[in-house]
Amino acid sequence: VDSQSPRRIRIRGVVYEKFFNGPKLKLVTEISVVPGEATFRIDDTIENQGSSEQEFQIIYHANFGAPLLDKDARVHAAVQSVAPMNDHAAKSIVNYATYDEPTSGFAEQVYLVEPLADPQGKTLAVLHNAKGDRAASIQWDVQQLPYLTLWKNTAATEDGYVTGIEPATGYPFNRKVERQAGRVPKLAAGESRRFTLDFGLHRGMQSVDAEVQRVKTIQADHVPVIQRTPPAN
């Protein structure tokens, strides 16, 4: 617990990925809260403890379900461009930001977003229910996490009615594809990289509207580029 106000409470863990002739990475991961606030923070640092350059990838797969997720729920993000991950997702690209009711047999749809940011490099995604009186938000720095994946899995409740909002260093293709696209970052020997995400929980239409307005302020007069087909790679 921080000794100074606002006395943030932190829990921290360390994970190592090390093997012979391979990566020697250290991840220090921290989750923290400020008492009385409806927010929490994830603050991670990845360090290359090896003697040579090393690739890495990180994606924050944040899942949301009912009661926040329901028919006509909507995700708001400041979008520079959005593309479907495959031909199946391409069929519903015009509705990428809205959700259906639980549907038996629904096949997941994945959309690849390049987010816009404010002058400080921060961006925001907000998911709210159909009524607009409950929402969750994620704020992050696009210099740290330049890509966003939206995973829609509005299957039957018994099969997992859920959506994922996923800031990341790349998209969820395999590493060969991501490497060819230039989306696999590297750490020099001894180098570290930090990632900070702030999650907010919002109740009441006024609170939800304020978060949506933050997204609209970042979007400003930028018209999103909607790609109708999956990326060539």
- Contact (CB, 8 A) for 200 and 137: yes
| pLDDT over threshold 70, residue 116 | yes
Q: What are phi and psi of 104, to 5 degrees?
A: -60, 135
Instruction: Find the length of the chain.
Output: 233
pLDDT tens digits, 49-80: 999 999 999 999 999 999 999 999 999 999 99
CB atoms within 10 A of CB 219: 18
- Contact (CB, 8 A) for 46 and 56: yes
3-state secondary structure 103-138: ECCCCCEEEEEEECCCCCCEEEEEEECCCCCEEEEE
The pLDDT score that the predictor gives to residue 232 is 79
The pLDDT score that the predictor gives to residue 233 is 66
Residue indicated by tokens 């060819």? 180
Determine the distance from the C-alpha atom of residue 198 to the mean position of all C-alpha atoms in its chain, rounded to a whole number: 11
Structure tokens at 214: 């933050």
What pLDDT band is residue 132 in, cutting at 50, 70 and 90? Answer: very high
Q: Which amino acid is at 175?
A: R
CB atoms within 10 A of CB 103: 13
pLDDT tens digits, 31-49: 999 999 999 999 999 999 9
Separation of alpha carbons 46 and 169, rounded Å:
13
31-55 burial, b at 16+ Cβ within 10 Å, e below that, comes to ebeeeeeeeebbbbebbbbbeeebe
Separation of alpha carbons 148 and 227, rounded Å:
15
What percent of the chain lies above the pLDDT cut of 90? Answer: 97
Quote the Cα angle for 33-36-39, to 5°: 45
- Contact (CB, 8 A) for 146 and 178: no
pLDDT tens digits, 164-173: 999 999 999 9
Structure tokens at 140: 């992050």
CB atoms within 10 A of CB 117: 17
Q: How far is CA 225 from CA 80, 133, 203, 228, in A?
A: 6, 29, 31, 10
